[in-house]
Amino acid sequence: MKTPLQRIGTTLIALLLTAQGVAQVTKFRDEDKPVNGIYTLYYLDKNGKNTAIFATGQYKNRKLNGAVKAFYRDGTLMFEEFYKDDKLEGVRKFYNEDGGLMNIKHYANGKMNGVYEEYYSNGQLQKTVTYKDDVPNGQVKEYYRDGRPMYTYTLLNDKREGVSTWYEDNGEKHITEYHNGMMGKCEVYSANGVLLSRIHYLNNQKEGFEEHYNEKGVLLEKLHYARGKRSGG
């Protein structure tokens, strides 16, 4: 059975190749897991010799306890996370090769809990998601690179529930009602707050009337749908 640090090494090979655009497989060497003390994973050169530390962790009674840190080849911190008796506990921070913060996760008893934060390369907050026991539960917010809001919605057991708002780059606003992940009424407003369209859904298919208006609020078109298909005149 792989130790937590060995699992970290296996998982992060794919992350390293993706982040660095490397075509060849990165090799690691790990030491035997100690009963107590420091455990280390190393980057290897083509001759199988240690070149740099990849990750380190502390064992107590054969279980990871305390901080685990992983590094890029140049020594820049890749991530830092904390364990209690082999289970993730507390804050986990992941960084890019330039040292910029990429995301923050919170753990309790080995499961994600609390607010997950994701960042653009310029340091601007990109997304927040609330988790409970590894499942998205609660409000989700997404932002444009300049900090303007892009999406706000709520997840209940990883399904959309309640009002979802999408702010388009041109200022238009889409407001959609959800229940158990299914769309209900959807309305689109102009940057000036004028209703431009209203569409009704049932089981994620258009159902009932669809209305379109101009910037002055004048009705331009009114259609009727049944089970996702046009009906009537």
pLDDT in tens, 8-21: 544 444 444 333 33
Give the mean model confidence (pLDDT) for residues 54-76: 92
Asked whether the beta carbons of 39 and 20 are under 8 A apart, the reply is no
34 Ramachandran zone, left/alpha/beta (phi>0; psi -120 to 50):
beta
DSSP 25: P
* Integer Cα distance of 142 and 145 in angstroms: 10
Asked whether the beta carbons of 106 and 115 are under 8 A apart, the reply is yes
> For position 12, what pLDDT does the model report?
44
In the chain, the percentage of residues whose pLDDT exceeds 70 is 85
> For position 172, what pLDDT does the model report?
96
226 Ramachandran zone, left/alpha/beta (phi>0; psi -120 to 50):
beta
* Integer Cα distance of 153 and 140 in angstroms: 5
Q: 178-216 in b/e burial notation, b at 16+ Cβ within 10 A?
A: beeeebeebebbbeeeeebbbbbbeeeebbeebbebeee
Least confident of 35-39, 87-91, 100-104, 147-151: 35-39
> For position 33, what pLDDT does the model report?
58
> For position 39, what pLDDT does the model report?
86
* Integer Cα distance of 130 and 115 in angstroms: 4
Q: Residue 105 half-sphere exposure, CB side, CA atoms within 13 Å?
A: 20
**More confident position, 63 or 133:** 133
Q: What is the pTM of this model?
A: 0.80
Asked whether the beta carbons of 96 and 102 are under 8 A apart, the reply is yes
- For all residues of the chain together, what is the average pLDDT? 87
pLDDT at 45 over 90: no
Of 3, 2, 28, which Cα lies nearest the Cα of 14? 28
Give the mean model confidence (pLDDT) for residues 147-171: 96
Which three-class secondary structure state does DSSP give residue 8?
helix
Q: What is the C-alpha end-to-end distance of the chain, expressed in Å?
A: 67
> For position 233, what pLDDT does the model report?
56
DSSP 158: T
> For position 49, what pLDDT does the model report?
85
